[in-house]
Amino acid sequence: MTQLLVLVRHGESAWNKLNLFTGWKDPDLTEKGVEEAHRAGRLLKEAGLRFDIAYTSSLVRAQHTLRLILAELGQEGLETILDQKLNERDYGDLSGLNKDDARKKWGEDQVLIWRRSYDVPPPGGESLKDTAVRVLPYYEAEIRPRLAAGKKVIVAAHGNSLRALIMKLEGLSGEEIIKRELATGVPLVYELDDAGEVVSYRALEG
């Protein structure tokens, strides 16, 4: 019997639109982000998918995305667990800065290293490797057992916390996962076997 796990990156946030490093800062969705979340819910509904439990981060853009998705599915009262272990990567001293301004301050090459290396954190922040260190034990302790019990699970979170999960699910290296782009508001549907290995994967893009 296959297990269902759906991952969704939140819709566009106000700081995505302004090209700012966001991390643990807490802007809400833009109008476009709201529509992306509604669209994700409609695509899941059209695919005939429903859920037994939901997980999201402690940040409002992910929570808002999840609420809109569940509203489209008619599952507004679904049990939802919030945990900061699913938060976006902490960008430390870069948080709140325009990406172009950061390049002027530290240089394009250095900012690229911070953004796209697996294990080099920005000042005061987390690398993707650091993010995985908090996300993956949480997945193993909290989410995997629900899947193993037959629960259909949706996780609404962030580009880098989801990259950490995808790295594990798909058996990717650190170098491979940093190249994976995750579009906002696109549900990623995984079916897993009893051992937690991926049987099938598809992105619902309409």
Question: Where in the sequence is the domain holding 83, given as residue range(s)?
Answer: 3-203
Give the number of domains in the chain.
1
Q: Report the pLDDT value the prediction gives residue 17, as an integer from 0 to 100.
A: 93
Per-residue pLDDT for 1 more than 90?
Answer: no
Q: What's the mean per-residue pLDDT of the chain? A: 97
SS (HEC) of the chain: CCEEEEEEECCCEHHHHCCECCCCCCCCECHHHHHHHHHHHHHHHHCCCCCCEEEECCCHHHHHHHHHHHHHCCCCCCCEEECHHHCCCCCHHHCCCEHHHHHHHHCHHHHHHHHHCCCCCCCCCCCHHHHHHHHHHHHHHHHHHHHHCCCCEEEEECHHHHHHHHHHHHCCCHHHHCCCCCCCCCEEEEEECCCCCEEEEEECCC
Which position among 12, 72, 88, 126 bears the catalytic label? 88
The string of pLDDT tens digits covering residues 135-174 is 999 999 999 999 999 999 999 999 999 999 999 999 999 9
**Residue 10: active-site member:** yes
- Let me know if 126 is a catalytic residue: no
User: Residue 134 — very low, low, confident or very high, per pLDDT cuts 50/70/90?
Assistant: very high
**What is the domain-level CATH number for residue 98?**
3.40.50.1240
Instruction: Spot the catalytic one: 10, 36, 126, 158.
Output: 10
